[in-house]
Amino acid sequence: KGPPSTMRPPRGSLLRPLISLVVLSTAHAFLPPLHSFGKPIVSQLRRFRSPFSAPLRMSDPSAVLKSQNFSWQQTMMRIKDPKKSLAFYQDLMGMTLIDKLEFPDMKFDLYFLTTLPKGEEYKLTPGTEDAHKYLWSMKGATLELTHNYGTENDADFKYHPGNQEKDGFGHVAFNVNDVYAACDKFEAQGCTFKKKPDEGRMKGLAFVYDPDGYWVEIVKRSENAKIENDFNLSQTMLRIKDPKKSIPFYESLGMTLLREYHGGDFSLYFLACLPPGVTPPADKSSPEASEFVKCLFNPVLELTHNHGTEAQPDFKHFSGNEDGHKGFGHIGFLVDDVMVSCKAFDEIGCEYAKRPEGGKMKGLAFVKDPDGYWLEIIKRGGYEKAGKCDPFWLEEPAAA
């Protein structure tokens, strides 16, 4: 019956000498002649790594992330009817449609809007290669509005706008010189409100509903802000469970903590990707820090912490991508190298909604932050191929 199973050689052990010989032979094929080595040949062979080896560990993944020049580039929200949403954000909020990506095979389109400085004319045509190049190399941030075909024709269809029990996404915001005048304009256009400026405990700010029911906060900018626009996109708000985890995570992506506000049972943290040489006030809770934020043209990420959630092991916010909670989708960052960035994310133990090699759209990734929010990681400038600069490439269909 043969020897007991405990006496049998481990499976594959008889092949190991042969495998080792093949690996060493392959190494020899790519190594310089022996006389060119300044170190013993054994030490050089140790540096050779088989393609089957485990990846090398980074000594400092946080430093690698910072080296990738992360810049916050988008906030994605799903919309039901692009005609209504584009009219709201372009005509009322003064945003510019800078690009459109169409995916008829997958039955969705993407619309990218941003606030341009007043007087700056956008001469590119959305959907063209020049517009794509602008989009994937821009310095500012966009609203990415995602339209899945057919929703506009379904009378009962509705996206989840957030702000219900355990929802993570709160709102986007725009800064204005005069909140009351802005709200008069919204009212004249038939918009409805979650809160008017004189309602509630916090006077002087408002929340208007967009066509999908998302909350849009209207905030007074600083009197010292040198901004001529009627409206400028100023923030995206997400609720977080534990600021001690979330803030260091976003700081590792090159964001800077600009301001803190601590209320009785909640705290607010404002972060942004600042241009080189711009430094916020050192005291994050000072009036100067508040003034600094209200003078910015580009948006901030507002992280809201309701005190006590960090002490609840099972507490978790909805990310906006669960069934019954789909509306907000993700925020996105441009980076120099997606693969290098993801290797660093691997080292710090991040989870993924999609790896660069996964799905139909290759070359971009969705990593999860400490609260499970999706962060799209996008190659700055795109992958140049056949005259195009898309930050992804589509999976080739299998041969028949």
Q: What's the burial of 367, exposed, middle or buried (CB within 10 Å: 0-12/13-18/19+)?
A: buried
SS3 string of 334-380?
Answer: EECCHHHHHHHHHHCCCCEEECCCCCCEECCEEEECCCCCEEEEEEC
Q: How many Cα neighbours within 13 Å face the side chain of 156?
A: 0
Residue 351 known to be catalytic: no
Rg over alpha carbons for the chain, rounded to the nearest Å, is 26
**Options 217, 260, 302, 376, the catalytic residue:** 217
How far is the CA of 125 from the CAs of 16, 85, 92, 188, 382, in angstroms?
60, 19, 21, 31, 18
- The beta strand positions in the chain, using DSSP E, are 71-79, 96-103, 108-114, 142-148, 169-176, 193-195, 206-209, 215-220, 232-240, 256-262, 266-272, 300-306, 328-335, 352-354, 361-362, 365-368, 374-379, 393-394
Helix (H) or strand (E) holding 36: none
- Do residues 283 and 289 lie in contact, with contact meaning Cβ atoms separated by under 8 Å? yes
Number of other CB atoms surrounding residue 221 within 10 Å = 22
| 161 Cβ contact partners less than 8 Å away, ≥ 6 residues apart | 209, 212, 213, 214, 215, 327
Alpha-carbon distances, residue 355 vs 290, 358, 375 (angstroms): 38, 5, 11
**Alpha carbon distance, N-terminus to C-terminus of the chain:** 48
How far, in Å, CA of 306 to CA of 44, rounded?
A: 55
Structure tokens at 295: 């003078």
Torsion-angle region of 290 (φ positive above 0: left; ψ -120 to 50: alpha; else: beta)? alpha
Residue 359, token pair as written in the block: 């799905």
> Within 13 Å, how many C-alpha atoms sit on residue 134's CB side?
19
**Residue 358 contacts residue 346 (beta carbons within 8 Å):** no
Residues labelled as active-site residues: 217
